[in-house]
Amino acid sequence: MTSAADGPRGITSVLVANRGEIARRIFRTARSLGLATVAVHSTADARMPFVGEADAAVELPGNTPGETYLRAELIVEAAVRAGVDAVHPGYGFLSENAGFAQAVIDAGLTWIGPPVDAISSMGSKIEAKKLMAAAGVPVLAELTPAEVSAVDLPVLVKASAGGGGRGMRVVTRLEDLAAEIDAASAEALSAFGDGTVFCERYLAAGHHVEVQIMADQHGTIWAVGERECSVQRRHQKVVEEAPSPLVERIPSMRPELYEAARKAAAAINYVGAGTVEFLADDAGRFYFLEMNTRLQVEHPVTEETTGLDLVELQFAVAAGERLPADPPPTVGHAIEVRLYAEDPANDWQPRTGRLHAFGVGARHLSGTKSARGGEIVPESRSTPRLRVDSGVEDGSEVSPYYDAMLAKVIVWAPARASAAARLAAELERARIHGVGTNRDLLTWILRHPAFLAGDTDTGFFDKHGVGEPPTDDVVRVSALAAALADAAARQARTSLRVASGWRNLPSQPQRKSYRVGDVVHQVEYRLTRDGLVAEGNARLVESTPTRVVLEVDGVRRVFEVAAYDGLTCVDSSLGSISLTPVERFTDPARQVAAGSLVAPMPGTVIRVGVRIGDKVTQGQPLLWLEAMKMEHMIAAPVDGVVGELTVEAGQQVEVGAVLAVVGEDA
């Protein structure tokens, strides 16, 4: 292939029809090739980092994906107006839309993706499975909803179009099948514009194993290593790694897996980067799930273990260049985690708002070189290295309109255990303030004995839960540090030279309350001639408005404290704690009636299942919200009667809005 410095022939500029971290990722490679870059963005995304990093940007007026990133005609018009040569779709949105690909080509632009026919053939999972079966690729038998019987259970209801866990339902009881099919169909119609669903046998403890494909226009098809992505929530991946622990245990599986993936690509004359996904059991038997005709979210783990730049290869293949006969070998192990703005302990509800601070490691791609430059192995074969592909930075606003992923954090190391240890440590040391995330869950997974043993099937969370919240001791000492930092800040704002709360004679202690989740923690302390008097045998060594040093039971720790409007974040070696200061006097206007159901996030009401006057039981679903590409059920908090219903289907609501009230009587 030609040198990376030459750039793909005929391409001098590219528009990325996407947002967030994948847009930044593609821009990075485009810049290294000397290509000009153009971003498209919604109104809500106008100040996001990816917009500022592009050489030029075109606004797509509106906020929701349906108004913006899913409008093929607007994006093609933007590409023509900006004068680019090519369009890269990234992943999600229109990346697997054959009509969009054809529109790009019809506009005289280079499509950085597979042929339109290949996209079409894989666009329907039902038809894709028939094609794969004919090509000799193992498949799970498709079941039409009408033919499912008790002996087939459990079954998985799946959307024929799209992916990402949307339109999926696991059914374990035959009497639930009809309702789950209706729900899956409605979700699929909303997400993909196609409500077609089908059923297949469900492997409750399967392994999600996939093969990275890269194919050129001259018949060469690479199987570029496999990945395992079995740790999932709501059928969406959370942890991805290469190589697969399952395949490593069963070496004979790898050549069969690669051969099946190459057959799948050859069957549809595939060109470009793609992924063939399989579901495997513990014995190594595997079955075709789907083929993603695009770059995957988890492509960095393949890049980190091979030294390839898959985006660079996408540009090269689109320009007609040939691949070498064989891909580079895999070296070491890479693990990627998806850092989401969500609350795993509260049904994975997404979180929105201002990201005051975001600092994870070095935040750059390091240690890999282009395969076309001749170097295909890591710069160091022994030193773990960190990579962060992020869509956010300090001050970014996390909106309710898009996916809740903030960043992908990846570590490469010579061995799997060292990769997991380094990644967990980097996450633990990260500085993330302002929006709740799944960071603690990720570190818990990476240190879990089952994960370290490679026991990572799709039932991981069902078996092991989602970790434990911080202990009361950790919260209390972090709250004490926050209170002392606040006292130091108040002292710094006055001319007094004595600490806040200091008294000449014994007096009442200083009190400050903080909320963590639904629990209020009250801190009591006194600053005397002899030092700090507080619960927990703590000794104050030093305090400033941003840094408190405490010695507890003979162990000295540093607590970094950051105070924002209505939020205090404390980072220490014990963990990161987000505290909400509790006001001494509550504004009556902010109180809501007992039994009120409030919106946990901004979103759209997509379904209402009750009417005023209906009797309901605790936990009964009352209505459903859609936010950040996920559907969330709102349930009755107690037994009672629906006394108020303030929303209807299609209505937009803000976080904290009262949706309904359940009382003892109507």
Residues with active-site annotation = 294
Q: How many CB atoms lie within 10 A of CB 423?
A: 29
Task: List all residues 6 or more positions away from 128 whose beta carbon is below 8 Å from its beta carbon.
Answer: 121, 122, 288, 290, 291
Quote the distance between the C-alpha of residue 507 and its chain's center. Answer: 50
Q: Measuring CA to CA, which residue among 106, 101, 104 is closest to residue 116?
A: 101
Query: Can you read off the two tokens belonging to residue 203?
Result: 């492997």
Q: Where are the extended beta strands (E) located within 89-162?
A: 110-111, 142-143, 155-159
Strand pairing category for 333-340 and 272-280: unpaired
Handedness of CA 493, 498, 502, 504 (dihedral sign): negative
Which residue in this structure is represented by tokens 């540009």? 315
Q: Count Cβ atoms within 10 A of the Cβ of residue 368 and give its class: 0-12 exposed, 13-18 middle, 19 or more buried.
A: buried
531: left (phi over 0), alpha (psi -120 to 50) or beta: left
Task: List all residues 6 or more positions away from 168 whose beta carbon is below 8 Å from its beta carbon.
Answer: 156, 157, 158, 159, 184, 234, 235
Beta bridge partners of 321: none
Beta bridge partners of 240: 336
Q: How many CB atoms lie within 10 A of CB 317?
A: 25
Identify the DSSP state of 139: B
Q: How many CB atoms lie within 10 A of CB 622?
A: 21
Q: How many CB atoms lie within 10 A of CB 294?
A: 26
Task: List all residues 6 or more positions away from 639 whose beta carbon is below 8 Å from its beta carbon.
Answer: 616, 617, 618
Query: Can you read off the two tokens belonging to residue 400?
Result: 């309710």
Are 367 and 412 within 8 A, CB to CB? yes
Alpha carbon distance 412, 414 (integer Å) = 7
Q: Measuring CA to CA, which residue among 599, 600, 597, 580 is closest to residue 350?
A: 600
Phi, psi of 561 (to 5 degrees): -120, 130
Beta bridge partners of 200: 142, 156
